[in-house]
């Protein structure tokens, strides 16, 4: 009926069926924090539940690492849910007769992971979500925010590549919610997980998301970086959705930064980098190591005096950087007046991009 151009109202009247997700096409990148936002009933849960086949789509495909999971049989799906894709639910889903530690171990227990190993992994996850010391408490002794952390730790112990989170923070009060958002960002920053996060709060969506998808009536209205929604709202619905948002407190450095114009790796030759710098009219560039870690910078003046060398001995190691999850307003003092590219790094000190004063101004004034 959809193919025949019938509306979802018409379909509901004639058949009694709801169209949950209507013809949505999305690519989600490895390591991305992808947020799905929309009003109640817009199809968010229906969509995320397709991503581990709790909902079976009637049409289309769902490809994870090149495999269409719609074709998976029962045991392949079980494997997928145990190892690759974990889900965190809104109402915690904790087992009340088990301690925090035993709750977090649960997923490993059903996989027959040996006792010592699972305790070790569970404790790591508990530490990661900030609950160290609470291992032997029971759910009834915890606050809502703490229970949510246990749920998150449990999802993390399986070391899934993909975390699905369906409005995990909506039951929490605003302060705890803010804490959990910060916690989640730092976990993602550190572990490089792909996280798909649902919320109906636009502020939360923009605060967390590398990219955001806005749904309405089961359809995709717009998908993009938070700043795209301000710069190019797809229609009036989007404009009214974002009307009351304070951009400087919502936009994160990572959604505003850009690629460095020139970048050097340890081991590069001075001549090559100098040529690059001259061509691009730059007087310095950052230097990274094998693991993309930020080591410092080299200046054209210096390497210009030493042709035919590796750049390694000319790297200036004192370098200031900004974490990619910082809010734009937090960078004002660092970027004030200066027009140099400041390095943007993650928690492991890997260089993720650069940003200058002009980038911020253009992001905020658009
Ligand atoms: N199991 C179901 N059977 C029939 N219709 C359903 C089912 N689950 C959801 N729907 C319908 O699908 C549509 C989308 O629902 P969905 O739960 O995906 O919305 P949502 O965006 O997650 O909303 P909320 O913010 O309230 O959680 C709604 O019209 C709903 O009535
Ligand atoms: Mg829902």
Distance 38 CA to ligand 2 centre (A): 9
What does CATH list as the number for 263-365? 3.10.580.10
Is there an atom of ligand 1 within 6 Å of 44 CB? yes
* Interior angle at CA 187, CA 97 and CA 323, nearest 5: 155
Distance 287 CA to ligand 2 centre (A): 45
Beta bridge partners, 252, equal: 327
Beta bridge partners, 217, equal: none
Query: Of the bound ligands, which one is closest to the alpha carbon of residue 43?
Result: 1
Is there an atom of ligand 1 within 6 Å of 36 CB? no
b/e sequence 273-290, b meaning 16+ C-beta within 10 Å: bbebbeeeebebbbbbee
Size of the chain, expressed as the number of residues it contains: 366
Strand 33-37 to strand 194-199: parallel, antiparallel, or no bridges (unpaired)? parallel
Asked whether the beta carbons of 171 and 89 are under 8 A apart, the reply is: no
Question: What are phi and psi for residue 287, nearest 5 degrees?
Answer: -125, 130
Beta bridge partners, 36, equal: 198, 213
Do 19-245 and 263-365 come out as alike in CATH topology? no
Orientation of helix 144-157 relative to helix 100-109, angle to 10°: 30
Distance 43 CA to ligand 2 centre (A): 7
pLDDT in tens, 162-176: 999 998 887 777 777
Q: Kindly state the tokens that stand for 167.
A: 């409005």
Map residue 298 onto helix, strand or coil.
Answer: strand
CA-to-CA distance for 312 and 63, rounded, in angstroms? 43
Is there an atom of ligand 1 within 6 Å of 18 CB? yes
Closest CA to 29 of 225, 313, 221, 235: 225
CATH of 19-245, one of 1.20.120.330, 1.20.1250.20, 3.20.20.70, 3.40.50.300: 3.40.50.300
Is there an atom of ligand 1 within 6 Å of 43 CB? yes
Map residue 127 onto helix, strand or coil.
Answer: helix
pTM of the model: 0.80
Map residue 203 onto helix, strand or coil.
Answer: helix
* pLDDT band, very low/low/confident/very high, at 337 (cuts 50, 70, 90): low
What dihedral angle (degrees, nearest 10) is formed by the CA atoms of 263, 264, 265, 268? 150
pLDDT in tens, 58-82: 999 999 999 999 999 999 999 999 8
What are the structural domain ranges in the chain? 19-245, 263-365
What would you report as the CA-atom Rg of the chain, rounded to the nearest whole angstrom? 24
For residue 158, give Cα distances in angstroms to 70, 137, 347.
22, 21, 22
Is there an atom of ligand 1 within 6 Å of 49 CB? no
CA-to-CA distance for 148 and 145, rounded, in angstroms? 5
pLDDT in tens, 284-303: 999 999 999 999 999 999 99
- Residue listed under structure tokens 């190892």: 83
DSSP per residue over 88-132, as a string?
Answer: E-TT----TTS-HHHHHHHHHHTTT--HHHHHHHHHHHHHHTT-T
Least confident of 144-158, 251-265, 280-294, 302-316: 144-158
CA-to-CA distance for 177 and 202, rounded, in angstroms? 14
Distance 6 CA to ligand 1 centre (A): 19
Confidence check: pLDDT of 366 > 70: no
Query: Of the bound ligands, which one is closest to the alpha carbon of residue 47?
Result: 1
């Amino acid at each position: 009926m959809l193919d025949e151009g019938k509306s979802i109202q018409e379909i509901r009247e004639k058949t009694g069926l709801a169209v949950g997700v209507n013809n949505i096409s999305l690519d989600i990148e490895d390591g991305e924090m992808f947020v799905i936002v929309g009003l109640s009933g817009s199809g968010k849960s229906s969509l995320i539940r397709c991503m581990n086949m709790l909902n079976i789509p009637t049409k289309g495909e769902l490809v994870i690492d090149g495999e269409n999971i719609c074709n998976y049989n029962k045991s392949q799906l079980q494997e997928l849910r145990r190892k690759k894709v974990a889900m965190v639910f809104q109402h915690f889903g904790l087992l009340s007769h088990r301690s925090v530690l035993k709750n977090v171990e649960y997923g490993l227990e059903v996989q027959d992971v040996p006792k010592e190993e699972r305790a070790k992994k569970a404790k790591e996850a508990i530490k990661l979500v900030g609950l160290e010391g609470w291992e032997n408490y029971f759910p009834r002794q915890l606050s809502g925010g703490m229970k949510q952390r246990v749920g998150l730790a449990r999802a993390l112990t399986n070391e899934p590549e993909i975390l699905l989170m369906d409005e995990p923070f909506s039951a929490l009060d605003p302060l705890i919610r803010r804490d959990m958002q910060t916690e989640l960002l730092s976990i993602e920053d550190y572990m490089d997980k792909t996280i798909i996060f649902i919320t109906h709060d636009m502020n939360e969506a923009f605060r967390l998301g590398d990219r955001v998808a806005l749904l309405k009536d089961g359809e995709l209205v717009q998908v993009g970086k938070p700043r795209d929604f301000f710069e190019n709202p797809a229609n009036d619905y989007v404009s009214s959705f974002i009307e009351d948002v304070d951009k400087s407190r919502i936009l994160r450095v990572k959604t505003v930064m850009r690629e460095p114009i020139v970048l050097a790796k340890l081991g590069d030759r001075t001549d090559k980098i100098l040529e690059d710098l001259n061509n691009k009219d730059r007087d310095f560039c950052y230097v990274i190591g094998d693991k993309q870690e930020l080591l410092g910078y080299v200046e054209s003046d210096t390497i210009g005096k030493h042709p035919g060398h590796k750049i390694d001995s000319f790297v200036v190691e004192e370098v200031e950087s900004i974490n990619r999850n910082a809010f734009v307003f937090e960078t004002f003092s660092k970027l004030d007046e200066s027009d140099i590219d400041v390095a943007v790094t993650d928690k492991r000190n890997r260089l993720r991009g650069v940003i200058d004063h002009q980038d911020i101004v253009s992001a905020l004034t658009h």
